């Protein structure tokens, strides 16, 4: 059994990949009982013990139990108020596999889950993020939301300004500029996304302060007695939750107005399961105010804990899809991402209207990736309005500035593909990783190739040993059902942060013609690696 401490958790995770993994976990067949909640009487303030189990249904799954203790008096002792341990076990035998620093894992999961909710609910052009509270969660939230929205201004407010200053200073050292606010009302009025993570028992955020189109991300107030927002916030908002069982039973921001008769439980439009699985299709008007209430749970932790010493579960992308049959096959076999090629010279090229129909067919079951090659803003705008991709895949010679500008202008995450043939090709990767949401490493195409990818060429994976071990990336380039497991084992065996694999020609019977049997075999082989 492995013991994984905080540093191991940090080195294994990044927010872009983690948000995707949680999205995929929500679509999986996972059992999540309502958590156990116990009050522990203490002379320095009541403490809370939370027990949160979850397990994957069917054979070959995982069982996880998260144990979280909340001791408000710990601040006076110089200790975190929230402490946790996560136990990961084999789903078939119950044998323990790992004990993981649950406090650190909870920080990553909580922030990433809120970022996922914001990806579904917040305006695409949301650029100002306010963090209310300066606890351990706060820096994670400020970073996580930057992975899903084009945040250009980050603000933090806390009752004790010095604590907010500490977080702002630490994030500035990481290259993230954070303002410290003294006036909470002014900060709320300026914000597009307001995250709250406090132990407050009195409302902090007032509904009268919210600007049209704001998104509330409420993560504190995890007992019925706690409260971070007033009744006006709830009455002005469209309501969403992580889980109905948790939020409607324990989330004070909803429990109290329901008890007062101001709203009913029916006001909840959807939970994260509904949004991820597409059972509820959310569309927002520009000025809609959305409220997401989270009370937490253990559903996502087996997904994070089961791969690469608690790293992100492997993402699988099937690229170059053109038919309803191939889309159904990929989704049914468990693909996380579906790639559509909008480069006219490729044999996998698809018209935007045809791709849009396939995206609607797979809505809520997998993420849509639009592959483009040195495409201008006009065509990107057409694709955004027609296809509405979840992710751009830049597969040309796009510069660092181009990646940064498109991400900011369109509010859609960018995956940058980089061709690899020798160690010299690795030098540009860290710079691109700093501006792109994801890196895809592909084999360099032949010199006379008419299109940049999908040639079935494999590069020497040992070249990648020079990569920073904490740099997350996806792998492409000649992968197939026959070699994908070897690729995964080889690269992870080098201690690298491989978070996903991508295939196109390796699951075809001819260029541009997908073989359904090969798609199923590829996904099965990757999952078993």
Tokens of 55: 């397990």
Q: Is residue 299 part of a domain?
A: no
Q: Are residues 319 and 186 in the same domain?
A: no
pLDDT digits 0-9 by tens, 342-355: 999 999 999 999 99
Q: Where are the beta strands (DSSP E) in 32-115?
A: 36-40, 47-56, 62-70, 82-90, 96-101
The mean per-residue pLDDT over the stretch 11-39 comes to 82
Name the band, by pLDDT with cuts 50, 70 and 90, for residue 307: very low
Per-residue model confidence (pLDDT) at position 57: 66
User: For residue 219, what is the DSSP state?
Assistant: -
- Answer yes or no: is 407 within a domain: yes
**End position of a domain, from candidates 261, 293, 325:** 293
CATH number where 219 lies: 3.40.50.720
Separation of alpha carbons 491 and 501, rounded Å: 11
Give yes or no: 230 in active site: no
Cα–Cα distance, 448 to 169 (Å, whole number): 50
When divided into structural domains, the chain yields a total of 3
Whether 194 maps to a domain, the answer reads yes
58 Rama class: left (phi>0) / alpha (psi -120 to 50) / beta: left
* Whether residue 359 sits in one domain with residue 281: no
Is 10's pLDDT higher than 80?
yes
Q: Residues 399-452: pLDDT tens digits?
A: 999 999 998 888 889 999 999 999 999 999 999 998 998 999 999 887 777 677
Q: Are residues 394 and 246 in the same domain?
A: no
How many C-beta atoms surround the C-beta of residue 159 within 10 A?
13
Domain C-terminal end among 75, 103, 131:
103
Composition of the chain by helix, strand, coil, percent to 5:
35, 25, 40
Averaged pLDDT for residues 499-504: 94
Residue 306 inside a domain? The answer is: no
Summary count for the chain: helices (H), strands (E): 18, 25
Do 78 and 118 reside in the same domain of the chain? no
Q: Give the tens place of pLDDT for each residue, 168-182.
A: 999 999 999 999 999
- In a domain, residue 91? The reply is yes
CATH number of the CATH domain containing 332: 3.20.20.70
- Which pLDDT tens digit goes with each residue over 124-139? 999 999 999 998 899 9
Note whether 415 and 333 are same-domain residues. Answer: yes
pLDDT mean over 56-77? 79
Q: Is there a single domain that holds both residue 33 and residue 7?
A: yes
pTM value is 0.60
Based on the residue annotation, tell me whether 368 is a catalytic residue of this protein.
no
Q: Are residues 488 and 398 in the same domain?
A: yes
Same structural domain, 129 and 246: yes
Looking at 310, 319, 329, 368, which residue is catalytic? Answer: 319
| Domain identity same for 405 and 483 | yes
Q: Is residue 93 part of a domain?
A: yes
CA angle, 222 then 228 then 229, to 5°: 125
- The reply to whether 346 falls in a domain is yes
Q: Which of 253, 301, 437, 442 is catalytic?
A: 442
Are residue 280 and residue 232 in the same domain, yes or no? yes
The CA distance from 317 to 299, in Å, is: 23
Rounded-to-integer distance, Cα 392 and Cα 311, Å: 24
The domain boundary, picked from 52, 86, 103, lies at 103
Examine residue 323 and state whether it is found in any structural domain, yes or no. Answer: yes
Q: Is the pLDDT of residue 302 over 50?
A: no
Domain range for 183? 105-293
Q: Are residues 98 and 117 in the same domain?
A: no
Distance between CA atoms of residues 222 and 197, nearest Å: 10
Do residues 329 and 282 share a domain?
no
């Amino acid at each position: 059994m492995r013991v994984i401490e905080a540093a191991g958790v940090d080195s294994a995770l990044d927010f872009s990949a983690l948000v995707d993994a949680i999205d995929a976990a929500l679509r999986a067949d996972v059992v999540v009982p309502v958590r156990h909640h116990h009050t522990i009487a203490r002379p320095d303030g009541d403490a809370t013990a939370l027990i949160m189990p979850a397990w994957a249904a069917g054979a070959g799954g995982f069982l996880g139990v998260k144990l979280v203790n909340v001791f408000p008096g710990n601040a006076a002792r110089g200790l975190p108020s929230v402490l946790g341990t996560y136990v990961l076990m084999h789903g078939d035998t119950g044998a323990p596999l790992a004990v993981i620093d649950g406090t650190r894992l909870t920080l990553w999961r909580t922030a990433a889950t809120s970022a996922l909710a914001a990806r579904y609910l917040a305006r695409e052009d949301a650029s100002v993020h306010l963090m209310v509270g300066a606890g351990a969660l706060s820096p994670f939230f400020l970073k996580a939301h930057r992975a899903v929205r084009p945040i250009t201004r980050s603000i933090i407010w806390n009752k004790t300004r010095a604590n907010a200053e500490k977080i702002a200073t630490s994030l500035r050292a990481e290259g993230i500029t954070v303002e410290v606010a003294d006036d909470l009302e002014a900060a709320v009025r300026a914000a597009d996304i307001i995250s709250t993570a406090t132990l407050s028992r009195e409302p902090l955020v007032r509904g009268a302060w919210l600007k049209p189109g704001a998104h509330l991300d409420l993560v504190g107030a995890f007992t019925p007695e706690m409260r971070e927002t007033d009744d006006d916030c709830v009455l002005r908002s469209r309501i969403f939750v992580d889980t109905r069982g948790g939020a409607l039973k324990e989330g004070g921001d909803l429990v109290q107005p329901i008890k007062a008769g101001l709203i009913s439980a029916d006001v909840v439009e959807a939970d994260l399961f509904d949004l991820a699985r597409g059972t509820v299709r959310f569309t927002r008007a520009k000025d809609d105010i959305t409220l997401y209430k989270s009370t937490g749970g253990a559903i996502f932790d087996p997904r994070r804990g089961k791969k690469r010493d608690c790293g992100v579960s492997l993402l699988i992308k099937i690229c170059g899809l053109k038919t309803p049959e191939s889309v159904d096959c990929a989704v049914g076999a468990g693909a996380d991402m579906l790639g559509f090629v909008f480069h006219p010279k490729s044999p996998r090229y698809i018209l935007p209207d045809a791709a849009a129909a396939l995206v609607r067919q797979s809505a809520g079951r997998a993420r849509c990736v639009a592959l483009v090659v040195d495409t201008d803003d006009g065509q990107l705008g057409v694709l955004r309005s027609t296809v509405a991709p979840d992710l751009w895949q830049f597969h040309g010679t796009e510069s660092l500035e181009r990646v940064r500008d498109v991400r900011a202008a369109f509010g859609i995450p960018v995956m940058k593909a980089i061709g690899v043939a020798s160690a010299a090709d690795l030098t540009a990767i860290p710079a691109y990783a700093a501006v792109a949401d994801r890196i895809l490493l592909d084999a360099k195409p032949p010199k006379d190739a008419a299109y940049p990818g999908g040639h079935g060429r494999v590069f020497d994976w040992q070249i990648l040993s020079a990569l920073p071990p904490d740099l997350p990336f996806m792998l492409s380039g000649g992968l197939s059902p026959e070699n994908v497991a070897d690729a995964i084992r080889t690269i992870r065996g080098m201690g690298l942060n491989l978070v996903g694999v991508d295939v196109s020609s390796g699951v075809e019977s001819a260029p541009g013609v997908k073989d359904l049997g090969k798609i199923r075999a590829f996904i099965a082989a990757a999952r078993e690696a």
